Chain A
């Protein structure tokens, strides 16, 4: 492998600000909706939890929470080299009539979101689905866009965007790891 260049995009405070902005935005725009946050495994889960806390604080409502593992809906299972472990999915509420905020850390090709939409629709028919991501790094392979995002950045397709949450990784940080070819 070549030498990697790492650049920190957001530190703890930067992340807090970005998440706060998204949370406020959702609270304002979806105030009257029956909403549920569904985090996509793995980093979408702590992200969704933080958004729901902001939402609760700003609206005095407790939104439903869920987590979704999209492994069984991946479209590349016939090609992967490392067979993925199935992680926990937990949606303990009826999706019918709800406005669901799908939450993930990074939006890249859009394939994870496609899988999540399919998975979600197997649970039922939500009123509406919105997408919130922390980082939109471009290079979409499907017609999917985020309704809420923390930052948009220019990347090369080979770069790796690393998002860390205190809950899963022990610290808050967004980094881009560039591959020098």
Chain B
């Protein structure tokens, strides 16, 4: 075996630097680990996106041949699941999607059972989405497979955070010193939390903007600022991310009406003109056109929303590849 690795000596000098077997939260990653994921993602993107003249006729690589990646989504999410599935397939892994009926898993016993059953069928990586914060962490203590958090409650959505950072890095070259505005329902947003950890670790500033009912004071920390008025926050923004606003938040009185929300926090052309010329617009999707963002902006030249979707696959390939190294 040493013989072959000698032959591969040029690349085996360095090795994968993820510290944990699981990817649960950006809060737990070091700066170095985040950069490793981003750099690997850049190469992963080349597997399926043409760079200049060069084209790859085959948009996949054999790296994870023979590995099994399971999509365990306790909460419906077509976008994230598709993105992870595509990422796994582009690495030649076998992909299984497990349909979980919510009713059969009201008991945590069956969550752990479900995962142990999957392991009994020899799966390697389990991508988990759950409506409750902490479920991926719970599973990571109970199983041998690698757990990838694809979003847990209002805790974290690390792959989304990483793809946001990747997109900004692609656009601006460096993350350090940037100011990202995250606008909307921060309280219930796992995306916001992952972005906060990832971006502040890389030296960016994050400004949380929204009605005070939706912006928890507890998130104020070094590198994070809280503002309640979008118009006065916009001029210093290098990028603005709008979070999806959900109807049921209105019903539980976090704000009085969608109309009033949109009036104060919806991003339209006039408002965006307050920002710097280079300011880009992000959205984790799916978009509520006309509520948190106008169509004109979402489809306009400053929008990097589709780049986010593309980069999502690259980042998830990177995550799966790097975690496979810990199996």
Contact = CB atoms under 8 A, between A and B. Distances in A.
Contact between chain A and chain B defined by CB under 8 Å? yes
Interface of A: 40-44, 66, 69-74, 76-95, 105-106, 108-112, 118-119, 121-125, 139, 141, 157-158, 160
Nearest to B318: A86
Interface residues of B, number: 42
B56 A160 contact: no
A76 B44 CA distance: 19
A78 B11 contact: no
B51 interface: yes
B287 interface: no
Given A72-B62, A93-B54, A85 B16 contact: yes
B57 interface: yes
B294 to A, nearest CB: 38
A86 B6 contact: no
11 contacts: A79-B1, A83-B322, A83-B324, A86-B39, A92-B53, A94-B55, A108-B6, A123-B56, A124-B56, A139-B3, A160-B6
Nearest to B63: A72
A87 B10 CA distance: 10
Report the 6 A-B pairs with minimum CB-CB distance, sorted nearest first.
A83-B325, A82-B15, A83-B16, A122-B58, A72-B61, A42-B10
A69 B54 contact: no
A69 B11 contact: yes
A84 B11 contact: yes
Contact of A91 (B7, B54, B64): B54
Q: Is the interface of A mostly helix, strand, loop or mixed?
A: loop
B82 interface: no
Interface in B30-50: 36, 39-40, 43-44, 46-47
Contacts of A108: 3, 6-7
Interface of B: 1-12, 14-16, 36, 39-40, 43-44, 46-47, 51-58, 60-64, 66, 91, 321-322, 324-326
Given A42-B11, A71-B11, A108-B6, 19 more contacts: A66-B54, A69-B43, A72-B63, A72-B321, A73-B61, A74-B63, A77-B63, A80-B5, A83-B322, A84-B16, A86-B321, A89-B46, A94-B55, A105-B10, A109-B4, A111-B4, A111-B7, A112-B7, A123-B55
Given A71-B63, A88-B43, A76 B6 contact: no
A110 B7 CA distance: 8
B97 to A, nearest CB: 24
A81 B15 CA distance: 9
A77 B57 contact: no
A146 to B, nearest CB: 14
Contacts of B52: 92
B36 A85 contact: yes
Given A77-B324, A123-B57, A160 B9 contact: yes
Contact of B1 (A76, A118, A123): A76
Nearest to B52: A92
A84 B40 CA distance: 11
A137 B60 CA distance: 32
A1 B4 CA distance: 19
A83 B53 contact: no
A91 B54 CA distance: 6
B14 A76 contact: no
In the complex, which of the residues A85, A112, A139 has the most CB atoms of chain B within 10 Å of its own CB atom? A85
B57 A124 contact: yes
A86 B7 contact: no
A162 to B, nearest CB: 8
